[in-house]
Chains A and B, each alone.
Chain A
């Protein structure tokens, strides 16, 4: 019954979405206030209906209702409750339902919080949003119905893919989708502006918070996914340049560019056309990502099912939205007015530099991801493009960009003083030089690239703090006044600093792990020890440990340094009988920012010993900590926006409250 309600709600939401696709935009054309207002109700309605559908599916998962095909295929009554919940989106149909749920969620947010938007813009945005929703609801209902029944109902389900039974997976997809799908708002705003034929600085002010929210979630989502792959796959790698990873990374690069160009548009009303194009491209890359992951053209852990009709359907959606948007852009963009002038050396110039490099980087990732697919279609030849390709292309493009990051915030709008900025960065330059020389000395001059990497990381770390430090004027005005001035700075300044600082933190982690990681692969029997990075790892014993829906073989290790026991750790293999699959539970000991990582291989023929792979990963956690800094920076920037821009209305209300 619940399942049928869910299905019905989903069908109903499609009809509401159809209404929302037409009425508000028609109203905007006719200037009919009442028609325009239908958008708000429809958007809220869509969200509520899809939420009902999603809850219905989740209920069937939690109650292990195996009469639903989707539940039967991806769940098992013995799974822990948490993974019964997360199984809901650990499969193709469920994750598409989550996709539209989030799409409708953002639509409802615009409907409810966009009270201060001009009525026509809001109506158009909601209609465009509904077009996307309609397309994906059709996709779900026609090709990927999660509510398909199974008769007779089996007694037991087939279990969720064991490597997805992990807390990381509970959080990663919703986060990632909030990011991916969040960019749809920027897209809808861009299309609405093109349809309206009017665009101004206010447009950028409305779009930027939405883009920021999406960007924050995407940043955290990618980071979570990376950490999950790191500890769950047992390979000790944090980024594989897998096409699926690239699929999420491309919208991130474009979205980061969009954040920066929207800033120029908002402050100086320049780069309008470019920003519109970037908004379209960012969401197009999100759609492309959805296509790559969901269509089955790629084989990976994310490609749950391969059904050709689905691929064709998503490809059609992709072509319609990207093609349509670009055609509309080509027709209408020339009608938009150009913006303010600026010198090449200026804040605007720096942001253009940022955009140029970020979009080029996104383009190289795009080429590396799509080239093998195209080549196979055209010539039948199969190649794989992996880390070596991206090291050669993405790496060199990033270097000038990272070098330029500290300069950006120090340059003035319109006309900047490069020499003055450079002078203020002398402390950062000293830090970078010290790091560079330090590493050269430490490695005996053999690791020049590593030294430059560390230098660049410290340049970013110190350089991003320079702006705050010099604006607070600690040196000129003393600590007390300096601190007061620092706290008085706008939150967006903190946002910029934190995000750029986070970039430095991540870079430091990457450089450190890729240069100084140590690895030992050896066969160990209980009682044996291995040495790594000054630690002695002793294999104490191996034990069988039953889990709810698996059997674990856990190896117990103790870690000593100079004879003193530092910690004890378990590394395990889990065997899931339902799927006949084994997964690795790596043993990880975090010490400071570094980690000792142990994963188990196969037992030897006589079962007396086992292959053990041990890594020492210096400063590895900085890679993910840096992304948290970036996200927090985004939150600061968002907070600033709301206070300053959040429409005069709210400002008045606040003032009234303060007086009362």
Chain B
């Protein structure tokens, strides 16, 4: 085999592998990524039932209900609209009413969001970034202040000061 033929082999193999990978990446990007949506987005424009959604907002006060087993329902709100969510499993340690949350799953035909994953913030100084950005974009959030005309009991995102705030 000549040097040239070898080089062609190598380039051919590279094209096959890289091309295959690119194909995989493109299919995966079109089918298996989750889009971030706010409750308002979901209410005004319902996505296909197969589309994975990351629903982000605040856990609405007084909506968290446990039916005695590991089944939980709660509503996610952006203070304009709210979407009911059902979830089976253990909620994260920092899941609380009035706090930021991201639920990942699909929107059922009955307009109830079926979450398979629920993420809450990692500590008290952190709101899910997507949620803050979304609220900010619509004038419902200000840096350093938290929610604007929020219900008084919601917790702002300002850092905790000292012990036992």
Contacts and interface: CB of A to CB of B under 8 A. Distances in A.
A389 B160 contact: no
A601 B128 CA distance: 21
Interface in B1-56: 1, 3, 6, 9-10, 13-14, 17-18, 20-21, 24-25, 27-29, 31-36, 52, 54
A81 interface: no
A38 interface: no
Given A383-B36, A384-B33, A389-B33, A299 B24 contact: no
B148 interface: no
Nearest to B165: A580
Contact of A234 (B25, B90, B130): B90
A384 B90 contact: no
B150 interface: no
A582 B94 contact: yes
Contacts of A636: none
A357 B70 contact: no
Interface string B66-77: 101110000000
Interface string A389-412: 101110011000000000000000
B111 interface: no
A599 B36 CA distance: 29
Interface stretch (A153-161, A448-456, A506-514): A153-161
B70 A601 contact: yes
A156 B163 contact: yes
A300 B122 contact: yes
Interface of B is mostly: mixed
Interface in B54-92: 54, 66, 68-70, 88-91
Nearest to A154: B162
Interface in B106-165: 122-124, 126, 128-130, 133-134, 160, 162-165
A578 B21 CA distance: 48
A381 B9 CA distance: 41
Contact of A602 (B1, B90, B104, B123): B90
B160 A393 contact: no
Given A299-B126, A344-B9, A388 B162 contact: no
Interface residues of B, number: 49
B18 A521 contact: no
Contacts of B162: 154, 156, 158
Given A156-B163, A352-B10, A579-B124, A397 B94 contact: no
A356 interface: yes
Contacts of B34: 383-384, 386
B93 A583 contact: yes
Nearest to A392: B28
Given A383-B35, A393-B25, A601-B90, A578 B163 contact: yes
B129 A392 contact: no
Given A360-B21, A581-B124, A389 B90 contact: no
A484 interface: no
Interface in A566-581: 573, 577-581
A580 B28 contact: no
Interface stretch (A141-149, A185-193, A363-371, A462-470): A363-371
A652 interface: no
Contacts of B124: 579-581
Contacts of A2: none
Nearest to B155: A580
Contact of A382 (B35, B94, B122): B35
A301 interface: yes
B91 A602 contact: yes
A363 B18 CA distance: 9
Contact of B91 (A385, A579, A601): A601
* Interface pairs A-B: 10 shortest CB-CB: A601-B90, A388-B32, A382-B36, A392-B28, A521-B70, A299-B129, A582-B93, A393-B24, A389-B28, A383-B33
10 contacts: A357-B17, A368-B25, A385-B33, A388-B31, A389-B32, A579-B160, A580-B165, A601-B89, A609-B68, A611-B66
Interface of B: 1, 3, 6, 9-10, 13-14, 17-18, 20-21, 24-25, 27-29, 31-36, 52, 54, 66, 68-70, 88-91, 93-94, 104, 122-124, 126, 128-130, 133-134, 160, 162-165
Given A388-B28, A599-B90, 9 more contacts: A352-B10, A388-B52, A392-B24, A393-B24, A522-B70, A579-B160, A582-B94, A602-B66, A605-B66
